C-alpha cells in the first residue's frame, strides 16, 4: 500500500494537484479499496495529500474498529461534529460538503487543485463540489489516476482473484457434468426425466459459486444457439437445450471485492461443420494471443494479430469490417480486478493503460458470432502476467466443445 501512495504522490505532482479526494458510498468503492484494504464501512471519504499522511473520514462510531483496521490517520465522527449534523438531518449533498471540507482541512490541504475520485452518487457529488468550488477548490478528474494505480496487482490481490477463478472453474466443471449426463429425447436434451433447460444450468452455477463464497451481481451468460451468437445475450431460462448446438457460458463472479471472468463454449454431440470450423478459428486466435501477451506488448497490437487470424479464416473483424455484427465483433480483452472491466485495455487509442506490464491481470477472449447460422463461439481465459514475465492462466480449463473433456 505504501508503494501505491508513493506512486499517487508522483501522479498528483504531474497533475499539479495538492491531493486526491475519494468520495465513496462504501468501503467497497473500487477507487477506495486500494488504499484501505478489505474493511466494512458505509459512506466515507479519503484525502491523500501530495505530501503528508492520508486521512480517512468515517461517519458513525459503530464503524470505529473497522476504520482503525485501515492503519490510516482517521477523521472521526467526533472530529466531524456528527451529533450536530445528525440533529439537523442534513441533506446528502450538505453532509458530503461538510465532511469533505473538514477532512481536507484536517489533512492540511488548502483550497486549490484536487483530483476527485470515487463512485458515489453523481448528483450529490456534483452539488457538493459546486458548493466547495465557491471556496476556491478546483476539481480535476481523478478516477483514471486510481485506475492506473490499480492496474498492477499486489500479491494479495492476485490471490483473491485466483480464489475467485478457482470457484469459477468448478462451476464450469459442474455445467460440463450436467451436459455430459444428458440424453437425447425427440431432438432435445433431457436430464433426470425432464428437459434440460438453461435455468437448470444456472441453478447449478449459483450453487457451486455460492459454495465458494462468490456472488454474481452482474448475472451470467448461458446462451444456446442463436442467443450465443450475440455476445451479451444472457440466454433464456426456459429454453430447452439441443444436441449439436453451441452453448456459450460466460461466468464473472466476485468474492465481494475482486472479480473473475471466464468463458467456454460447449456442444453436446457432433457439432455442425460450421460450428467446428468456428471453434478451430477461435482456438487458434486464443493461442496466438497467449503467445503475444508479454511485458511491453500493446493490447491493440495483439488485437490486430487476432483479427489477422480471423481474416485468414474468412471472417469479418472490426478492422476489415468496422461495425460488423457477425464474425469477430469486439475487442480482445480487458483488465480484471476491483472492476470487471479495468486496465489494461486493448483499444487502438491508448497510452500506458494499453501496455501489458508485470502484475497485470486481464482476459483474452476471442470469439465468432453468427446468430443467422444459429451459433456463437467464445473462449476466454483469465491471465496473470507475472513480474518475471511468465504468463499464468488462472482458468486452466479444457477448450474443447465436448463437455466430456472436462470429466
Amino acid 1: pLDDT: 65
The answer to whether the beta carbons of residues 97 and 51 sit under 8 Å apart is no
Would you give the DSSP letter of residue 18?
S
Span 141-186, pLDDT tens digits: 999 999 999 999 999 999 999 999 999 999 999 999 999 999 999 9
pLDDT in tens, 269-284: 999 999 999 999 999 9
List C-alpha distances in Å: 9 to 228, 297, 327: 46, 27, 45
Report the pLDDT value the prediction gives residue 87, as an integer from 0 to 100: 75
How high is the pLDDT of residue 2?
67
Domains contained in the chain, CATH given? 2-151 (3.40.350.10), 155-406 (3.90.230.10)
Helix ranges, 107-253 (H): 122-133, 143-151, 155-181, 198-211
Residues (pLDDT < 50) of the chain are none
Q: Which residue shows C-alpha cell 437425447?
A: 184
pLDDT at 83: 77
Q: Look at residue 89 in the predicted model and tell me its pLDDT.
A: 65
pTM of the predicted model as reported, rounded to 2 decimal places: 0.95
What contacts 193, CB < 8 A, 6 or more positions away? none
CB 275 within 8 A of CB 377: yes
pLDDT of residue 82: 80
**Residues contacting 244, CB < 8 A, separation 6+:** 267, 268, 269, 270, 271, 272, 275
Q: Output the pLDDT for position 233.
A: 98
Angle, CA 205 vertex, CA 201 and CA 211 arms, to 5°: 145
Amino acid at each position: 500500500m505504501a508503494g501505491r501512495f508513493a506512486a499517487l504522490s508522483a501522479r498528483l505532482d504531474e497533475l499539479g494537484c495538492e491531493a486526491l479526494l475519494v468520495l465513496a458510498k462504501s468501503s467497497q468503492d473500487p477507487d477506495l479499496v486500494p488504499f484501505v484494504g478489505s474493511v466494512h464501512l458505509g459512506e466515507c471519504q479519503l484525502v491523500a495529500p501530495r505530501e503528508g499522511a492520508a486521512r480517512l473520514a468515517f461517519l458513525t462510531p459503530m464503524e470505529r474498529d473497522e476504520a482503525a483496521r485501515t492503519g490510516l490517520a482517521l477523521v472521526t465522527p467526533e472530529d466531524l461534529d456528527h451529533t450536530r449534523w445528525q440533529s439537523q438531518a442534513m441533506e446528502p449533498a450538505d453532509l458530503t460538503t461538510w465532511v469533505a471540507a473538514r477532512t481536507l482541512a484536517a489533512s492540511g490541504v488548502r483550497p486549490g487543485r484536487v483530483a476527485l475520485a470515487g463512485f458515489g452518487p453523481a448528483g450529490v457529488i456534483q452539488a457538493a463540489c459546486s458548493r466547495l468550488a465557491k471556496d476556491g477548490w478546483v476539481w480535476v478528474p481523478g478516477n483514471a489516476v486510481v485506475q492506473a494505480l490499480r492496474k498492477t496487482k499486489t500479491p494479495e490481490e492476485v490471490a483473491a482473484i485466483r480464489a475467485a477463478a478457482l470457484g469459477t472453474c468448478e462451476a464450469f466443471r459442474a455445467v460440463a457434468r450436467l451436459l455430459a449426463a444428458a440424453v437425447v429425447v425427440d431432438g432435445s436434451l433431457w436430464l433426470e426425466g425432464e428437459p434440460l433447460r438453461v435455468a437448470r444450468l444456472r441453478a447449478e452455477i449459483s450453487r457451486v459459486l455460492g459454495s465458494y463464497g462468490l456472488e454474481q451481481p452482474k448475472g451470467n451468460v448461458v446462451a444456446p444457439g442463436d442467443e450465443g451468437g450475440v455476445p451479451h445475450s444472457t440466454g433464456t431460462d426456459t429454453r430447452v437445450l439441443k444436441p449439436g448446438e453451441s452453448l456459450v457460458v460466460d461466468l464473472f463472479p466476485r468474492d465481494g471485492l475482486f472479480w473473475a471472468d471466464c468463458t467456454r463454449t460447449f456442444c453436446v454431440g457432433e457439432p455442425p461443420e460450421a460450428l467446428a470450423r468456428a471453434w478451430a478459428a477461435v482456438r487458434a486466435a486464443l493461442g496466438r494471443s497467449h503467445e503475444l501477451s508479454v511485458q511491453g506488448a500493446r493490447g491493440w497490437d495483439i488485437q490486430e494479430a487476432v483479427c489477422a487470424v480471423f481474416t485468414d479464416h474468412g471472417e469479418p473483424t472490426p478492422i476489415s469490417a468496422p461495425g460488423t455484427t457477425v464474425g469477430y465483433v469486439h475487442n480482445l480483452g480487458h483488465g480484471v480486478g476491483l472492476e470487471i472491466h479495468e486496465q489494461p485495455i486493448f483499444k487502438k487509442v491508448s497510452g500506458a493503460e494499453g501496455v501489458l506490464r508485470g502484475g497485470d491481470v486481464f482476459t483474452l477472449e476471442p470469439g465468432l458470432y453468427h446468430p443467422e447460422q444459429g451459433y456463437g463461439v467464445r473462449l476466454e481465459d483469465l491471465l496473470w502476467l507475472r513480474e518475471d514475465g511468465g504468463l499464468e492462466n488462472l482458468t486452466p480449463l479444457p477448450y474443447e466443445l465436448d463437455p466430456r473433456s472436462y470429466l
